[in-house]
Structure 1
Amino acid sequence: MKYVQLGKRGPKVSAIGFGAWAIGGMNWGKTDDEVSKKALHAAFDEGVTLVDTADVYGFGHSEELIAEVLKERGGKKDIVIATKAGNDFYHAGDDDDEGYGPIRQTYTKDYIISAAEKSLKRLNVEALDILQLHSGDTDNLKKDDPWLALEQLKKDGKILHAGWSVQSFQETNQAFILDEHKDLIDVIQVRYNLLEREAEEVLFPKALEYGTGVIVRIPLLFGFLTGKFTKETRFDKEDHRSMNLSPEKLEHYLKELDKLQPLYDKYPQYTKAQIALKFCISHPATHTVIPGAKTPKQVKENCGAADVEIERYE
């Protein structure tokens, strides 16, 4: 494993992290908590020190599983946990036995602080290493409240670093937010992969200018860039990929994937997933990547990308 400083002000982390959305038990098909925990253990055994989660993943379940595994390993030690707030699931719902309702964006100062405090309890830590505003829409990000919340949480020692998860497909339109809050935002998280490169246009140059840490999400395009999906692939309706990788989108992506075949042919010693992950951290602005994994086997393949040596794909 290789380790990098996450920007000028961020913590030192592994170049390959662990994306913990899928282990929350929602939106990614069936999961097994014991297998998920084994996947986390495997990641830590491979040298992963960055785990990215969110309060909304499994309505707190992802954070709880991370806490369980860290307890089993004798404590947090050098593990860096990045979580998120802003996607409000706490309000009462009519159809949910847990009392949680449909997810909505809530970006008031009081809510962000309250959500952070709930994450602290679930993760059983004294401070959150990184708290990211969770893919807020532009109108919410223009408000003072969420940034005042991050400032207050930092001042109170409840978070160590302030982050912002940029809304997917808004990497150019929302780039001005980084200008306005460059002194507060230590880390940004960005959607970026071999087929989706909008972040290179405006956001990455700004991150380089300001020394902002960059975490890359969706590096495998929800598993598509592993090469295991075909035009016949279908997902359960409860799996978010039934929309994000619909038959129409699959057909489009498959045509784009064909153009990458010369790249794969050039490096037959690596898997498609490893090449895709290495691409994401080969840009001068990026630092670490957080592929999701539900099994130890997937974790080990992902971690192998740290040692991949390929020329930058343009």
Structure 2
Amino acid sequence: MRYRSFGRTGWNVSEIGFGAWGIGGDAWGQQDDTAALAALNKAIDLGVNFIDTADVYGDGHSEQLIAQVRQARKEELIIVTKAGRRLNPHTAEGYNNHQNLAGFIERSLRNLDVEALDLVQLHCPPSEVYDMPEVFAILDDLQQQGKIRNYGVSVEKVEEALKAIQYPNVKSVQIIFNMFRLKPAEKFFAAARERNVGVIVRVPLASGLLTGKFSAQSQFSTSDHRNYNRHGEAFDQGETFSGVDYEEGLKAVEELRDLVPEGTTMAQFALRWILMFPEASTVIAGAKNPQQAEDNTAASELPALSDETMKRIQELYDRRFRTSVHSRW
């Protein structure tokens, strides 16, 4: 496993992290806790030291599973969580309430069984929040109280990320970036580098499309967001298959197969592509069992991709996806 610096935090984080949405037991179909715990342990065995979760993943179940693993391990782990999506209704005004955010933080402290949270991210709040300095003042206060060590944001749009990093104490941004969503590389990465902000890349495999294992006949359970959120029915459409049309995504994957190096899986190829961008501090790939965790971490050791491969992926994006996704996120 290779490691990268994480903005101004002083952390060196595994460039392949662990995305813990899937182990929460909601939004990804049926989940088995035994397999989830085994996946976490396998990832740590292989050098992963960065785990990303949220208070709404399984209504806190993901955080609780991570706490079990953390207590049993000797390694120094960086656990980052998110807050805000427990608001109902989920409005900008709800974030501008000290009691709300403090309550979410206290709940995560209990779930993770820690005295202070390593890093808390606002969880894809409404765009208006990024024009509300008073919200970030609340986070400053919680940091001064010792409840959180660092804070950042998880965003849907590049424009939100650019606004967020103008706040001096925002240490990180979590954003969707993969071979179907290239926009962050145009302006945001340079801005993050200039301000020394850590970048957490999520949805690296486009909800599994970039594993190359799906087909037009693939079925997803009713409790899987890849079934019920293809058009943004439950939350932002960009979180499901990166917002691309499923059939168009399958066609793109077939084109990509010719570029995958021998002995490398499609998923590892997709993760290695992201790691070609030095601004990506860590890529939080999900894993629901030990084999998936092992496959993901292996991407860190793969050789660099050629300039020709990078050029062809850019061309594929421009031809297939730019028109439909670039202006939206």
- TM-score, structure 2 as length reference: 0.84
How far off its partner does 1:230 sit? 0.6
Q: 2:185 aligns with which of 184, 188, 200?
A: 200
Letter in 1 for 2:265: T
* 1:252 and 2:238 correspond: no
Q: Give the equivalent residue in structure 1 for 2:325.
A: none
Cα distance in 1 for residues equivalent to 2:111 and 2:138: 20
Structure with greater helix percent: 2
CA contact (8 A) 1:175 1:202 kept: no
CA contact (8 A) 2:52 2:80 kept: yes
Q: 2:152 aligns with which of 156, 163, 168?
A: 163
Cα distance in 2 for residues equivalent to 1:8 and 1:263: 36
How far off its partner does 1:259 sit? 3.0
Q: Give the equivalent residue in structure 2 for 1:130.
A: 119
Q: Once superposed, which parts of structure 1, at least 4 consecutive aligned residues long, lie more than 3 Å away?
A: none
Q: 1:307 aligns with which of 286, 298, 301?
A: 301
Q: Are the structure 2 counterparts of residues 8 and 73 from structure 1 closer, same or farther at C-alpha, using a change threshold of 3 Å?
A: closer
Count of residues paired in the alignment:
294
1:1-314 aligned within 5 A: 1-73=1-73, 77-88=75-86, 104-105=90-91, 106-108=94-96, 109-167=98-156, 170-171=157-158, 173-181=159-167, 183-242=168-227, 243=230, 244-245=240-241, 249-264=245-260, 267-311=261-305, 313-314=310-311
How far off its partner does 1:179 sit? 4.6
How far off its partner does 1:20 sit? 0.3
CA contact (8 A) 1:153 1:159 kept: yes
Q: Any unmatched runs of 5+ in structure 2?
A: 231-239, 312-329
User: What RMSD in Å do the two structures reach over aligned CA positions?
Assistant: 1.9
CA contact (8 A) 1:87 1:103 kept: no
Percent of residue pairs identical: 39
Q: Give the equivalent residue in structure 2 for 1:94.
A: none
Deviations 1:254-310 (A, max 9, x none): 12223323321xx11211111111111211311110001100000000010110112
Cα distance in 1 for residues equivalent to 2:89 and 2:300: 35
Q: Any unmatched runs of 5+ in structure 1?
A: 90-101
- TM-score, structure 1 as length reference: 0.88
CA contact (8 A) 1:230 1:250 kept: no
Letter in 2 for 1:303: T
CA contact (8 A) 1:164 1:189 kept: yes
